[in-house]
Amino acid sequence: MDDILEILESNARISFEDLKKLTGKSIKEIEKAVKSYEKKGIIVKYKAIINKTKLKNEQNVVALIEVRIAPQKDVGFDLIAERIYRFPEVKNCYLLSGTYDLLLEVSGKDIQTVAGFVSEKLAPLSSVKATATHFMLKKYKEDGIILTKKDKNQRLPITY
Protein backbone atom coordinates (compact mmCIF):
# COMPACT_ATOMS: atom_id res chain seq x y z
CA MET A 1 0.00 0.00 0.00
CA ASP A 2 1.16 3.54 -0.75
CA ASP A 3 2.82 5.36 2.17
CA ILE A 4 0.30 8.23 1.91
CA LEU A 5 -2.57 5.76 2.31
CA GLU A 6 -0.92 4.03 5.26
CA ILE A 7 -0.46 7.32 7.08
CA LEU A 8 -4.01 8.55 6.31
CA GLU A 9 -5.44 5.23 7.46
CA SER A 10 -3.93 5.69 10.90
CA ASN A 11 -4.50 9.47 11.09
CA ALA A 12 -7.00 10.99 8.67
CA ARG A 13 -6.54 14.46 10.20
CA ILE A 14 -2.85 14.74 9.41
CA SER A 15 -1.93 17.89 7.49
CA PHE A 16 -0.42 17.79 4.03
CA GLU A 17 2.57 19.60 5.53
CA ASP A 18 3.13 16.72 7.98
CA LEU A 19 2.58 14.19 5.16
CA LYS A 20 5.29 16.01 3.22
CA LYS A 21 7.71 15.60 6.13
CA LEU A 22 6.89 11.90 6.57
CA THR A 23 6.91 10.90 2.90
CA GLY A 24 9.44 13.27 1.36
CA LYS A 25 6.92 14.10 -1.38
CA SER A 26 5.86 17.59 -2.37
CA ILE A 27 2.50 18.97 -1.28
CA LYS A 28 1.38 19.05 -4.95
CA GLU A 29 2.21 15.33 -5.29
CA ILE A 30 0.31 14.56 -2.09
CA GLU A 31 -2.74 16.64 -3.11
CA LYS A 32 -2.78 14.95 -6.54
CA ALA A 33 -2.50 11.47 -5.01
CA VAL A 34 -5.23 12.09 -2.41
CA LYS A 35 -7.62 13.54 -5.03
CA SER A 36 -6.94 10.55 -7.26
CA TYR A 37 -7.57 8.09 -4.40
CA GLU A 38 -10.85 9.85 -3.58
CA LYS A 39 -11.96 9.93 -7.23
CA LYS A 40 -11.16 6.21 -7.71
CA GLY A 41 -13.03 5.26 -4.53
CA ILE A 42 -9.86 4.04 -2.80
CA ILE A 43 -10.40 6.62 -0.07
CA VAL A 44 -14.09 6.27 0.63
CA LYS A 45 -14.54 8.27 3.83
CA TYR A 46 -12.64 9.96 6.62
CA LYS A 47 -13.72 8.60 9.98
CA ALA A 48 -13.53 9.52 13.64
CA ILE A 49 -13.63 6.67 16.16
CA ILE A 50 -16.01 7.61 18.96
CA ASN A 51 -16.07 5.80 22.29
CA LYS A 52 -19.86 5.81 22.69
CA THR A 53 -19.69 4.45 26.23
CA LYS A 54 -18.41 7.89 27.26
CA LEU A 55 -21.54 9.60 25.90
CA LYS A 56 -24.18 9.94 28.61
CA ASN A 57 -27.44 10.23 26.66
CA GLU A 58 -26.70 8.43 23.44
CA GLN A 59 -26.53 4.69 24.02
CA ASN A 60 -27.43 2.38 21.15
CA VAL A 61 -27.68 -1.37 21.19
CA VAL A 62 -25.34 -3.06 18.73
CA ALA A 63 -25.75 -6.64 17.54
CA LEU A 64 -23.71 -8.90 15.32
CA ILE A 65 -26.05 -11.04 13.26
CA GLU A 66 -24.89 -14.10 11.38
CA VAL A 67 -27.10 -14.86 8.38
CA ARG A 68 -27.31 -18.07 6.36
CA ILE A 69 -28.70 -17.40 2.90
CA ALA A 70 -29.48 -19.39 -0.21
CA PRO A 71 -27.41 -18.00 -3.08
CA GLN A 72 -29.40 -17.06 -6.16
CA LYS A 73 -28.71 -18.44 -9.60
CA ASP A 74 -26.30 -16.35 -11.70
CA VAL A 75 -25.76 -13.71 -8.96
CA GLY A 76 -24.67 -15.77 -5.96
CA PHE A 77 -24.81 -13.84 -2.70
CA ASP A 78 -24.46 -10.34 -4.09
CA LEU A 79 -28.11 -9.51 -4.83
CA ILE A 80 -29.47 -10.63 -1.45
CA ALA A 81 -26.49 -9.03 0.34
CA GLU A 82 -27.28 -5.74 -1.39
CA ARG A 83 -30.92 -5.97 -0.38
CA ILE A 84 -29.88 -6.56 3.24
CA TYR A 85 -27.13 -3.92 3.49
CA ARG A 86 -29.49 -1.24 2.18
CA PHE A 87 -31.55 -1.45 5.38
CA PRO A 88 -30.66 1.64 7.48
CA GLU A 89 -30.18 -0.51 10.60
CA VAL A 90 -27.28 -2.37 8.96
CA LYS A 91 -24.00 -0.55 9.66
CA ASN A 92 -21.61 -3.20 8.24
CA CYS A 93 -22.10 -6.28 6.07
CA TYR A 94 -19.46 -8.93 5.32
CA LEU A 95 -19.46 -12.12 3.24
CA LEU A 96 -18.03 -14.99 5.32
CA SER A 97 -16.76 -18.49 4.88
CA GLY A 98 -18.04 -21.16 7.25
CA THR A 99 -21.44 -21.99 8.67
CA TYR A 100 -23.00 -18.59 7.99
CA ASP A 101 -22.72 -16.54 4.81
CA LEU A 102 -23.10 -12.94 5.99
CA LEU A 103 -22.12 -11.08 9.13
CA LEU A 104 -24.10 -7.92 9.85
CA GLU A 105 -23.45 -5.21 12.39
CA VAL A 106 -26.84 -3.74 13.27
CA SER A 107 -27.69 -0.95 15.67
CA GLY A 108 -30.89 0.30 17.22
CA LYS A 109 -32.08 2.34 20.17
CA ASP A 110 -32.85 -0.79 22.21
CA ILE A 111 -32.99 -4.58 22.09
CA GLN A 112 -36.58 -4.54 20.87
CA THR A 113 -35.62 -2.39 17.87
CA VAL A 114 -32.90 -4.84 16.82
CA ALA A 115 -35.18 -7.83 17.47
CA GLY A 116 -37.88 -6.15 15.38
CA PHE A 117 -35.43 -5.67 12.53
CA VAL A 118 -34.55 -9.38 12.60
CA SER A 119 -38.13 -10.65 12.88
CA GLU A 120 -39.88 -8.14 10.61
CA LYS A 121 -37.32 -7.27 7.94
CA LEU A 122 -34.48 -9.80 7.82
CA ALA A 123 -35.97 -13.23 8.60
CA PRO A 124 -38.95 -12.87 6.22
CA LEU A 125 -36.67 -12.51 3.17
CA SER A 126 -37.08 -15.64 1.07
CA SER A 127 -33.32 -16.18 0.65
CA VAL A 128 -32.64 -15.99 4.41
CA LYS A 129 -32.44 -19.51 5.82
CA ALA A 130 -31.22 -18.85 9.39
CA THR A 131 -29.93 -16.10 11.66
CA ALA A 132 -27.96 -15.98 14.91
CA THR A 133 -27.98 -12.70 16.84
CA HIS A 134 -25.24 -11.73 19.28
CA PHE A 135 -25.71 -8.54 21.30
CA MET A 136 -22.53 -6.58 21.90
CA LEU A 137 -22.04 -6.11 25.63
CA LYS A 138 -18.81 -4.14 25.67
CA LYS A 139 -16.40 -2.86 23.05
CA TYR A 140 -12.75 -3.13 24.07
CA LYS A 141 -11.05 -2.20 20.81
CA GLU A 142 -12.15 -0.64 17.52
CA ASP A 143 -10.10 -0.15 14.35
CA GLY A 144 -6.93 -0.90 16.30
CA ILE A 145 -7.72 1.65 19.03
CA ILE A 146 -8.09 0.38 22.62
CA LEU A 147 -11.21 1.97 24.12
CA THR A 148 -10.89 0.79 27.71
CA LYS A 149 -8.33 1.86 30.24
CA LYS A 150 -7.27 -0.37 33.08
CA ASP A 151 -8.20 1.02 36.44
CA LYS A 152 -5.44 0.95 38.96
CA ASN A 153 -5.97 -1.72 41.56
CA GLN A 154 -8.06 -0.12 44.30
CA ARG A 155 -7.70 -3.04 46.72
CA LEU A 156 -5.61 -2.57 49.79
CA PRO A 157 -2.71 -4.99 50.21
CA ILE A 158 -3.18 -7.77 52.73
CA THR A 159 -0.77 -7.63 55.65
CA TYR A 160 -0.22 -10.17 58.40
pTM over 0.85: no
Which residue pairs, CB below 8 angstroms and at least 24 apart, start in 25-30?
30/4
User: pLDDT tens string for the chain (160 positions)?
Assistant: 789 999 998 889 999 999 999 999 999 999 999 999 999 999 998 888 777 777 776 668 999 999 999 988 888 899 999 999 999 999 999 999 999 999 999 999 999 999 999 999 999 999 999 999 999 998 888 888 888 877 666 666 677 7
Q: Which CATH number fits domain 52-137: 1.10.357.10, 3.30.70.920, 3.40.50.720, 3.40.50.1220?
A: 3.30.70.920
Domain ranges for the chain, please list them.
Answer: 3-40, 52-137
Q: Please report how the helices 16-23 and 3-10 are oriented relative to each other, as an axis angle in degrees rounded to 10.
A: 130
